[in-house]
Amino acid sequence: MLAATFLYGSLRLPPRLGTQGLEMTMSKYTDEYGSFFGRLNEDGNVIVLHETGEAATRLDVNVYPVGSQLSARYEHAAGIVLTREDAAKLRLEIEEAN
């Protein structure tokens, strides 16, 4: 299982995950559909959740969920899962995996 560490509001990602160990400041991503954060799944991708903890089904941003040919601007009833790279582009706060 992958692990991430919060450091006073920042997320330090291990170098093997493509960030070269850089520390990035993350925050809740907010758009017209609400405020969102992310949670790592077993595959190392990021499940996007509303601040209430419910699965996000739509975002007002041009990213493509993992395994989808439709952007996140379209409804995704099963929820939205992004690569770590796309989540980082949104500066999405990623919760530690348990």
Closest CA to 48 of 69, 10, 76: 76
**Residue 17 belongs to a domain:** no
- Split into its structural domains, the chain has a count of 1
**Residue 70 belongs to a domain:** yes
**Residue 3 belongs to a domain:** no
State the amino acid at position 46 in one-letter form: V
**Residue 2 belongs to a domain:** no
**Residue 86 belongs to a domain:** yes
Average pLDDT estimate for 72-81: 97
Average pLDDT estimate for 4-17: 39
Average pLDDT estimate for 5-32: 49
**Residue 18 belongs to a domain:** no
- Of residues 31 and 62, the one with the higher pLDDT is 62
**Residue 1 belongs to a domain:** no
Using the predicted structure, report yes or no on whether residue 10 has a pLDDT greater than 80. Answer: no
Its domain, for residue 74, covers: 27-95
- Of residues 73 and 27, the one with the higher pLDDT is 73
**Residue 58 belongs to a domain:** yes
